[in-house]
Amino acid sequence: MTGRRKPYTEIGIRRVPCSRCGKPSTAQWKICANGNRYAGVCTDCDIEMNRLILQFMRVPHRGKLLAKYRREAAG
């Protein structure tokens, strides 16, 4: 399992490489299958993960939601 049990601080997350691609992390996530451990993700991987989940969950208006999230994440 990768990650840690406690959430990263705002400063701490920037010190952790993205658990997927190795770029600097800007966000964190956790999932039950990984023992509920927090793992860092970069902006690009965070956006892609959100796209996949919105699609998987068949969220209505997901294109608009993702476009708004992309703008916020890039800002």
**Predicted confidence (pLDDT) per residue in 33-45, tens digit:** 999 999 999 999 9
Q: Which residues contact 69 (CB under 8 A, 6 or more apart)?
A: 47, 50
**Predicted confidence (pLDDT) per residue in 10-62, tens digit:** 999 999 999 999 999 999 999 999 999 999 999 999 999 999 999 999 999 99
So where are the chain's domains? 10-74
pTM, entire model: 0.89
The residue whose two tokens read 């490489």 is: 17
Task: Give dist(CA 73, CA 26) in Å, integer.
Answer: 9
Task: Give dist(CA 60, CA 7) in Å, integer.
Answer: 30
